[in-house]
Structure 1
Amino acid sequence: MVTQFPLDYMHLICLGVMRRLIWLWTKSPLEKNIRLSAMSVQRLSDSLLQLKSHVPSEFARKCRPVSEIDRWKATEFRQFLLYCGPVVLKGILPVALYSNFLLLSVGIFCLVSPSLCYTHCGIARALLHTFVSQAGVLYGQDVLVYNVHGILHVADDVNVFGPLDTVSAFPFENFLGQIKRLVRKPNLPLQQVVHRLAEKKAQKKKKTKIENALKKQHFLGPLPPNFPPCNQFHQLKQDDVLISADAADVRDNCVKIGNDFCLLRNIVTVPQAEGQDIFVVHEHFTQVRDFFDCPFQSSDLGISLVNRPSGHMQVSPLEDIVCKYYLLPFRGSFVAIPLLHLL
C-alpha cells in the first residue's frame, strides 16, 4: 500500500509547493520578512513576459506575470520550476532563498529526466531532503505542510516507477481538454465522446505515417560553399518535435549536435537514389560555461550559459541532433536547458 501508490508531482509540487513558494515571495505577510519589494516583483513579471517569444512550440502556454498566479495552470508552474525560475529569479530573490529554490528545481529536474532519474536519483533525494529542512528555517515551521513533507518521498517513487512524468496526472489533465472539445451539445455527452473517439481511431488507421514533415520551403540559404543542389526549408516536425531555422523564430532553433550547442540556420534535403537525406546547416556557440555550480555544476544536467555564435556554417545529418534546447536570454547571454521529455 505504501510503495505501490505513487505521489502525483503535478498536484504535490507544481500546484502545491511551487505555487506556495511564489505566493510567499510575492504576497506573504510583511512580518515574515520574505516578501519581495514591489519593484522586485515587477522585475520578476517583466522578466517572465520577456521570455514569451522564447518559449518553444512544445509548450502549450506562454509565460504570464506573477500577478496572475491565481490563474496559472499546472504546466505553467512546471515550466517555472524546471526552466524559467532558475533564470528569472537569479539576482531578484535573496541568495539564501534562491539557493534553497535551486535545490528543489535541480532535484525535480533530475527526477523528471528519463535519463538522469536513474543516475542521479540518490543525489536528487539528498537535495530534496535539504530543501525541506532549510525551508522550515527560511520560511517558518508553518510552511512544512503535507505537500512539502511529500517531497521527501518522490525519489522513492522514481526508484519503483521511473521518471516522474510516467506517474503524473499531466497526460490525463491534457486529455480532458480534448474530451471537452468532443462534446458539441448538452444532450448525451458520454455517447458523443465515445462516437467521436471511434471516428478518430478509424481515421488514424487510414492515414499513412509521415516520418518527417518539412515546412516553409524557401531559396534564401545560407548554404556552405560548393554544396550540391538541394531543397531548403525553414521548419521540420518529427515525432511531435519542431525545429526551426527561420531567423525570425528564436523559439525552436537551438539544438545540441555532438558536444556543441548550435543555432540552426537552414534545413536542406539532398535527393538520393532511394529517397532523400536531410541535413541541418548550423553555427555553434563559442563560449560555453556553467550557469550555476551549486548544488553541483549545471553542465552535469546539460544546462549551460552560452554566448557568441561562431558565424561559421557547418552541415550535419539530421540524425546527429542529440536534443532540442530551451534558450532563455540572461544578461546578454543565453541559458540553454534541454527539453526533458526529449532526453
Structure 2
Amino acid sequence: MHLVCLGVMKKLLRIWTGRASRAKMSSTAFQNVSEKIVFLSKCIPVEFNRKGRSLSQLADWKATEFRTFLLYIGPVALYGNVDLAIYEHFLLFHCSIMILISKRHIEKFGVPFARQLLHLFVTHSEKIYGLEFLVYNVHSLLHLADDVENFGPLDNSSAFPFENYLHHLKSLVQSPNKPLQQINRRLKEIEMTVYEKHDSTSPDDEHFCKCELSHFLGPTPNFSCKQYKKLHYKDFIFSIASYSEANCFCLTLEGLVFKIENIVVDNNGAVFILGRRFQDYRSFYKYPVDSKEFYVYRIQNLSEYIELLHCHKVFSKCIVFPFKQEWLSFSLLHH
C-alpha cells in the first residue's frame, strides 16, 4: 500500500503530470489519459471500492485508486499517450507487481523473475527520469521480492486489510467515553454471534455459491430451473449482462472469457451460468511478459450461441474494457 501504491506509482504519476519534468505528458496526452481513466472506470466491477478519477484530481486519489491504475487501468490509459520507453518502463513495474501479488503467478513465474523485473525497473529509472528519481521508496522495490519469499503474496503483508477494517471499528464506537473498551466488547459479541450461527457452508468455503434476485427473463436451458440475476461465488459477485454490464464477465478454467446472460439453479441445487464466449484471443502487450500469461487478452468475436457452464468451471472474474474495435480482458488478481 505505502511502498508501491502511495509510493512509486504516485511518484510516477506526479512526474508525468508535473510542471518541470523531462517525462511530462503533453496537455493533449494529459486530457486523453484523464478521459480514458474516467471512461474505463464505468467498467470497474463491484469488488472495487472506488472508481478512477481524472488526473486533475490526482492530489485526492486514494491508495486503492493508485493500485487499480497500476494493475488494470494504467496499461490501457497510457497506451499511445506516452513515449514507448516510458510505457515499457511502466510495464516492468506493472508486470512485477502482477506476479508478486498473485499466488498463482508466483508459482508460474517464480519470485526470482519478478525480482529481475524490479531490478530492471530501478536501473532504467535513472536513465528515464534522472538520478533524483532514485529515492528510498524506489530503492526499496529491490527488496520487495524478499518480503514475498518470507511472507507470501504481497497482500499477506499489506496495510490494505487493516485500512479497510478501520471503518468497521469506527462504527462500533457509540460515544467518546472509553472507545477501546467499547470496541473490545462489540468484537466479543460479534465473535460469539458468528460462532453460534456458523454452519458447514460459509463464504470462506472453496465452492461457496449464493444466488440472489430471482427473475423470469431467460434464456434458460432445456431442464427445469430457477433464474437469478446475481451470483456470489467464492470472493466474486457475478451478474447477468442485462443487470450489470461491469459484473457479467468471467474467465473459465480453460482460459475462455464468458459474458453471462443468465444464472440458473436446477432442481438438485446445482448452479449454472448461461453465456456466450469470446472466440478470438490476442496478446495486449508482449514486453516484458506476454500478457496472455497473466490472462490479459485482446478479445473479439462474441459467439452467437449460448453455452451452459457449471459455476465450478469459473476460474475468476474479469474486467472487460472497450479498446479500439475490440475488448481488453483482465483477470482479477486480488481475490
Pairwise same-fold verdict (TM > 0.5): yes
* 1:309 partner amino acid: L
Q: Is the 8 A contact 1:114 1:340 kept in 2?
A: no
Deviation at 1:203, TM superposition (A): 2.3
SS at match of 1:341: coil
Confirm or deny: 8 A CA contact 1:53 1:250 kept in the other structure. Answer: no
From 276, 295, 300, the counterpart of 1:302:
295
Using the alignment, how far apart are the partners of 2:235 and 2:292 within structure 1?
Answer: 26
Q: Which amino acid aligns with 2:24?
A: R
Q: Distance in 2 between the 1:70 and 1:185 partners?
A: 33
Among 324, 329, 333, the residue aligned to 1:336: 329
| 1:16 and 2:7 matched | yes
Q: Quick one: which of 213, 217, 223 aligns to 2:214?
A: 217
Q: Give the root-mean-square deviation of aligned CA atoms.
A: 1.4
Within a 5 Å distance, the mapping from 1:87-106 to structure 2 comes to 87-106=76-95
Q: Which moved more, 1:327-336 or 1:133-142?
A: 327-336
Whole-Å Cα distance in 2 between the matches of residues 67 and 47 of structure 1?
A: 13
C-alpha contact 2:248 2:259 (8 A) present in aligned 1: yes
Residue 259 (structure 1) aligns with = 255
> SS in structure 1 opposite 2:75?
helix
Q: Match of 1:6?
A: none
Q: Contact conserved, 2:255 with 2:295, CA < 8 A, in 1?
A: no
Matched, 1:46 2:35: yes
Deviates further, 205-214 or 310-319: 205-214
* Amino acid across the alignment from 2:266: V
Alignment of 1:188-199 (within 5 A): 188-199=178-189
Corresponding position: 1:291 with 2:284 = yes
Letter in 2 for 1:316: L
Q: Report deviation, 1:160.
A: 2.0
In structure 2, C-alpha distance between the alignment counterparts of 1:191 and 1:51, rounded to whole Å: 44
Residue among 318, 323, 329 paired with 1:325: 318
1:230 aligns with 2:225: yes
Measure the CA separation in 2 of the matches of 1:146 and 1:28.
23
1:242 and 2:237 aligned: yes
Question: 1:152 matched to which residue of 2?
Answer: 142
Deviations along 1:269-313, one digit per CA (max 9) or x if unpaired, are 1102xxx11111011001110000111211111111111211210
Matched, 1:179 2:169: yes
* Residues 63-142 of structure 1 mapped to structure 2, 5 A cutoff: 63-120=52-109, 121-142=111-132
User: Mind listing any 5+ residue stretches in structure 2 that lack a counterpart?
Assistant: 203-207
TM-aligned CA deviation for residue 317 of structure 1: 0.9
**C-alpha contact (below 8 Å) 2:229/2:243 kept by paired residues:** no
Compute the displacement of 1:59 (Å): 0.8
1:270 to 250, 258, 266: 266
TM-score relative to the length of structure 2? 0.93
Distance 2:82 2:319 in 1: 22
Q: In 2, distance between residues paired with 1:248 and 1:291?
A: 28
Taking the aligned partners of 1:142 and 1:52, their CA distance within structure 2 comes to 33
Separation of aligned partners in 2, 1:192 and 1:56: 35
Q: CA deviation at 1:259?
A: 2.8
Distance 1:28 1:141, change over 3 A: farther
Structure 2 residue identity aligned to 1:165: D
Name the counterpart of 1:311.
304
- What is the SS of the residue equivalent to 2:51? coil
SS in 1 for 2:132: helix
- Counterpart of 2:18 in structure 1 is 27
Unaligned segments of structure 1, at least 5 residues: 1-9
Query: Shift in Å at residue 119 of structure 1?
Result: 3.0
Provide the TM-score with structure 1 as the length reference: 0.91
Letter paired with 1:331: K
Distance 2:210 2:195 in 1: 19
In 2, Cα distance between equivalents of 1:18 and 1:158: 19
Structure 1: distance between partners of 2:120 and 2:234: 38
Contact preservation (8 Å) 1:117, 1:158: no
